């Protein structure tokens, strides 16, 4: 499966309740290959993109940065070990939403 196929996929908690959608896929270079290995996904409850404001080195206009951080206050990072790709367009968490780490902000 390609990473692009995961964007906007519905995310369900272990009980099957919808908790958000995939906003971003985090990956790292694979050793000795020209490929990327998915490490986890950013899961949020809004369709608005992050635009890089979750990264500490991305400053941008202060007002826009504050708005993006406020908008994504409930956005979480889910490592691949805590996810099951159930079907195309659906990702299931292996742990409850509250056990996921909040996406780091400034």
Which tens digit of pLDDT belongs to each residue from 41-91? 989 887 766 656 555 555 667 777 777 677 777 889 999 999 998 777 899
Q: For the chain, first and last CA: distance in Å?
A: 32
Q: What is the pTM of this model?
A: 0.77
- The CATH number assigned to the domain with range 3-102 reads 2.30.30.240
What was the pLDDT predicted at 66?
A: 73
The domain ranges of the chain are 3-102
Q: How many other β-carbons are positioned within 10 Å of the β-carbon of residue 100?
A: 20
Return all residues near 53 (Cβ < 8 A) that are at least 6 apart: 60, 64, 65, 68, 69, 72
pLDDT per position as a tens digit, 16-43: 999 999 988 888 898 888 888 889 998 9
């Amino acid at each position: 499966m390609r990473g692009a196929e995961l964007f906007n996929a519905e995310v369900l908690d272990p009980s099957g309740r919808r908790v958000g959608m995939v906003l971003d896929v985090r990956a790292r270079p694979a050793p000795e290959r020209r490929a990327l290995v998915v490490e986890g996904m950013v899961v949020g409850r809004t369709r608005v993109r992050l635009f890089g404001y979750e990264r500490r080195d991305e400053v941008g206009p202060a007002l826009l940065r504050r708005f993006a951080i406020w908008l994504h206050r409930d956005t979480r990072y889910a490592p691949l070990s805590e996810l099951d790709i159930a079907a195309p367009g659906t990702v299931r968490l292996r742990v409850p939403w509250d056990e996921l780490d909040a996406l780091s902000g400034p």
